[in-house]
Chains A and B, each alone.
Chain A
Amino acid sequence: MEQKLTLGIDSGSTTTKAALFDGKEIVRTGMVPTGANPKESIQSLYQQMWSKDVAYTVSTGYGRALLDQADKQVTEITCHARGAAFLNPDIQAVVDIGGQDSKAILLDRDRNVVDFLMNDKCAAGTGRFIEVMMRTLGENLEEMDRFVQGKTPANITSMCTVFAESEIVSLLAKGVDKGDIALGVVQSICRRTAFFAQRLKLSGAVFFSGGLAQYEIFRSTMESFLKLPVHTHPLSQYAGAIGAAVIGYQKASRSWN
């Protein structure tokens, strides 16, 4: 029997991610920066990932309408939930910190979305917040775990990205250690996200996704604020794309049988 694959593509504000699914496993992933031309990025990633074995394509994310070749568009809420539950079937909720929004999703017993919240009005509580702060500190986000090791968090009180940036500038001027400030920033965004997510009355294990989930410091800080077990996965940044591919497989396989 010929191999049948489905492709999920998640066009996020910062990165565009893709996953190929064979009905059992994720066989391949890909990622490109979204940049200033999201349409070009999603097209080029599609070309990279596509092969004649791809039977069905689902696009998601804020640029989901930009891929004409997609068989279906599904919102990032549904895809994230499905992808997270695929990566870890024991979870009951998803907290995602994306590049320009953050979301909390509550799942039912059957891993369907029962409720969700989205913060999409403001950069505070999103990946953008961290990006701006790390730039102000002149540090690389990739080095986050090492950079904040053994540090004492500085108190960052501003919720607003613009005000927090000037708060950091004045902390730097006072000679506060950069690592302390970075840890303060991590705590600030995790605290904010946890308070926001708890409006859904979360219980049980939480899946943490988005680009920041790959750093242990964000996972452990999130856990301490949520007071719930927080899981992540090496592929958590691909949760949306994986969910799209899984949904695509369910749709497409109906016509195969």
Chain B
Amino acid sequence: MELIKELPAIFAEFGEQRKNSFVRAFELKQQNIPFVGVFCSYFPDELAMAMGACTVGLCSTSDETIPEAEKDLPRNLCPLIKSSYGFAKTDKCPYFYFSDLIVGETTCDGKKKMYEYLGKFKPVYVMELPNSQSPEALELWKKEIIKLKNKLEEHFGLPITEEKVRKAVHLRNELRRALREFYQVMRLDPVPISGLELYNVLNGASFRFDKAQVTQEIREMTQRIYDEYKTAHKYTKGPRILITGCPLGGVAEKTIRAIEENGGHVVALENCGGAKTVDKLVDEDAEDIYDALARRYLDIGCSVMSPNPNRLDLLGRLVEEYKVDAVVEITLQACHTYNIETLGIKQFVNEQLHLPYMSMETDYSTSDAGQINTRMTAFLEML
């Protein structure tokens, strides 16, 4: 197939930063590198890596395009879905624009129904993600991963050999190890970096395409953090907060800031992009590498799974490892699965971990910044 190599017509109207992102993506496209756009941590990155493609995250984090999306989608839908759809429609996101194929999964109801409309103006392929982690589900998911491999080979005309997949698995695991070692700096008390810095590094790493290079850079940064900590402490001790819940992209700034400006420290992120998607590795020595991939990805403790025991398991481990004092759950408006799970998470945190818990529903607007600040402060006063 022909890759998308032209800049969009609307390019001239963009601000400096957006133009730069477009140009970076544009340059990669000139080197004949295909772009696979994805929405979820369920996408097996290794397959795209095995054919030399860039995987680009399409989960949008700004309310800029929500009015455009609301022309097609209901207003009381999750902001992540509306914003992403809006960016796709308006050609304002370089990754959307340059995606030669968009791969979605049947995760939450909002996303899977949105993909049906997205497919009308973008090339969309949807994987059937089971909603449980049973043996039958694993079997289906493995088939779906092999089907995706075939789809990618056919769509891009590039072969994906087992050898290349295994190499990609190793490379991707190395990045996961490096990210894990990086966020483990937050075991230190007082913390060596702020929670917002922690978030920004984890988030930034997902927009880097040279996996080996970013792995190396993250390892160096981790070492630097330990070195600097030996000579001086930048922060004082304070309540250690774990954040869990929905993807934080559009709300990280206002929520993490509200905690850290009021004396708390965010020491662990269980969300997508944090431990949820970094914690587990793919078994590199597995006889059947597709089976290993299927297991690793199906095991993600996302609230679309029913039941969802892996989320509790990870939460329990993180609370212990990071000496967490309290848990804050951030959910996005109208994210049913996470919003419903707040009750079970609250019970688990209060009754099993014996820690305070607070949940807060928010969206991509700044209208509730004052209320978030009050609630976070009250929660910290309680500790």
Binding site for B on A (CB under 8 A): 62, 74-78, 101, 112-116, 118, 120-121
Contacts and interface: CB of A to CB of B under 8 A. Distances in A.
Nearest to B362: A121
Interface string B369-383: 011001101110110
B378 A75 contact: yes
B52 interface: no
B374 A62 contact: yes
A62 B370 CA distance: 8
A121 B370 CA distance: 11
B371 A120 contact: yes
B197 interface: no
Contacts of B379: 116
A118 B381 contact: no
B356 interface: yes
Contacts of B377: 75
A120 B356 CA distance: 21
Interface of B: 350, 356, 361, 368, 370-371, 374-375, 377-379, 381-382
B47 to A, nearest CB: 42
Contact of A118 (B356, B371, B382): B371
Given A114-B356, A115-B356, A77 B368 contact: no
A75 B377 CA distance: 7
In the A-B complex, list the 6 residue pairs whose CB atoms are closest, starting with the nearest.
A77-B378, A75-B378, A78-B381, A113-B382, A120-B371, A75-B377
B381 A74 contact: yes
Contacts of B375: 77, 118, 120
Given A75-B378, A78-B381, A113-B381, 10 more contacts: A62-B370, A76-B378, A113-B378, A113-B382, A115-B356, A118-B371, A120-B371, A120-B375, A121-B361, A121-B368
Given A62-B374, A118-B371, A120-B371, A75 B356 contact: no
Contacts of B381: 74-75, 77-78, 113
A78 B378 CA distance: 6
A153 B382 CA distance: 39
Contacts, number: 40
A75 B356 CA distance: 18
A75 B368 contact: no
B371 A116 contact: no
18 contacts: A62-B370, A74-B381, A75-B378, A76-B378, A77-B374, A77-B375, A77-B382, A78-B382, A113-B381, A114-B356, A114-B382, A115-B382, A116-B378, A118-B371, A118-B375, A120-B368, A121-B361, A121-B371
A121 B363 CA distance: 12
A121 B371 CA distance: 9
Nearest to B380: A75
Contacts of B368: 120-121
A112 B382 contact: yes
A78 B370 CA distance: 17
A74 B263 CA distance: 13
Contacts of A78: 378, 381-382
B365 to A, nearest CB: 12
Contacts of A75: 374, 377-378, 381
A50 B158 CA distance: 78
Contacts of A115: 350, 356, 382
A12 to B, nearest CB: 12
Contacts of B374: 62, 75-77, 118, 120
A14 B374 CA distance: 18
A167 to B, nearest CB: 21
Contacts of A113: 378, 381-382
A62 B350 CA distance: 28
A115 B371 CA distance: 17
Contacts of A114: 356, 382
A32 to B, nearest CB: 22
Nearest to B367: A121
Contacts of B382: 77-78, 112-116
Contacts of B378: 75-78, 113, 116
Contacts of A112: 382
Interface centre among A75, A76, A77, A101, by most chain B C-beta atoms within 10 angstroms, is A75
B348 to A, nearest CB: 15
A120 B376 CA distance: 13
Nearest to B359: A117
Contacts of A74: 381
Contacts of A120: 368, 371, 374-375
A21 to B, nearest CB: 19
A240 to B, nearest CB: 12
B355 to A, nearest CB: 11
Contacts of B361: 121
Nearest to B350: A115
A118 B368 CA distance: 13
A121 B350 CA distance: 25
A112 B381 CA distance: 10
Contacts of A101: 371
B370, B377, B378, B379 pick with most chain A CB within 10 angstroms? B378
B222 to A, nearest CB: 36
B375 to A, nearest CB: 6
B368 to A, nearest CB: 7
A75 B374 CA distance: 6
Nearest to A73: B377
Interface centre among B368, B370, B371, B381 (most CB of A within 10 A): B381
A121 B368 CA distance: 8
Nearest to B382: A113
